[in-house]
Amino acid sequence: MAKVLVVDDAAFMRMMLKNILGKNGHQIVGEAQNGAEGVKKYQELKPDVVTMDIIMPEVNGIEAVRQIMAMDPEAKIVMVSALGQEAMVKEALEAGARDFIVKPFKESKVLEVIEKLC
């Protein structure tokens, strides 16, 4: 049972993740629409896991990872990427993200990744 912070600029994507995770016994403790908001909410809520979209306005996902990792080196961040974003996912991993999931989501994969981190 993980406490998850969902960061994505698309409400639809946030809703999908919320559904998948909620259905499987995880708790969505907060949402954010961009990287800056994501970092802020992380400080406030101290979630177990963060799902982080890559391309977002204001502060993008990779930068957000850096900032969160600087605050909390134990942070568990999962990147949410689309096809073709290999280089960016690698960059995020290098910045400290733990794993990634690809859109469109496969429920089993999302769960595999989230549950592995808890």
Partner 1 sequence: MESYKDVFVSESMEHLNSLTQGLLELEKGNEEVLTEIFRAAHTLKGMSATMGYEGMAKITHEMENLLDAVRNGEVEITSEVIDVLFEAVDLLEAALNSLSEGDDENISAEEVSQKLSKFAQTRKEERTTPAEVKGEVKKLEKGVKRIDIELDKDCTLKSVRAYMAFRELRELGEIVKCIPDEEKLEDGNFDRSFSIFLKTSASDEEIRKRLKKVSELSKIEIHSGEASSAKEDKTKSGGDVKSVQTVRVSIERLDSLMNLVGELVISKSRLFQIKNKYAIDELNETLAYIDKLTTSLQEEVQEMRMVEVRYVFDRFPRMVRDLAKKEGKKVDFVIEGKDIELDRTVLDEIGDPLVHLLRNCIDHGIETPEERVKSGKSETGKVLLKARRVKDHVEIIVADDGRGIDPEKIKRIAVEKGLISEKEAEKMSYDEAKMLIFTPGFSSAEKVTDISGRGVGLDVVRNKILSLGGTVELESEVGKGTRFVLKLPLTLAITKALLISAGGKIYAIPLNNVNEILNVKEEDISTVMGQEVIQLRGKILPVYDLLSLLGKATATNGKRARPVVIVEKGGNLIGLAVDELIGQQEIVIKSLDGKLRDVRGFAGSTIMGDGRVSLILDIASLGVGEWQSR
**Residue whose CB is less far from partner 1, 36 or 102:** 102
**Residue whose CB is less far from partner 1, 17 or 32:** 17
> Least distance (Å) from partner 1 to the CB of residue 44?
28
| Span near partner 1 by CB under 8 A; candidates 9-17, 51-59, 64-72, 104-112 | 104-112
The residues pairing with 81 across neighbouring beta strands, listed in sequence order, are 102
Residue 57 sits at the vertex; the CA angle it makes with 37 and 3, to the nearest 5 degrees, is: 35
d(CA 92, CA 95): 5
> Least distance (Å) from partner 1 to the CB of residue 59?
22
Instruction: Establish how many alpha carbons lie within 13 A of residue 38's alpha carbon, considering only the half-sphere containing its beta carbon.
Output: 35
Say whether residue 42 binds partner 1 (CB under 8 A).
no
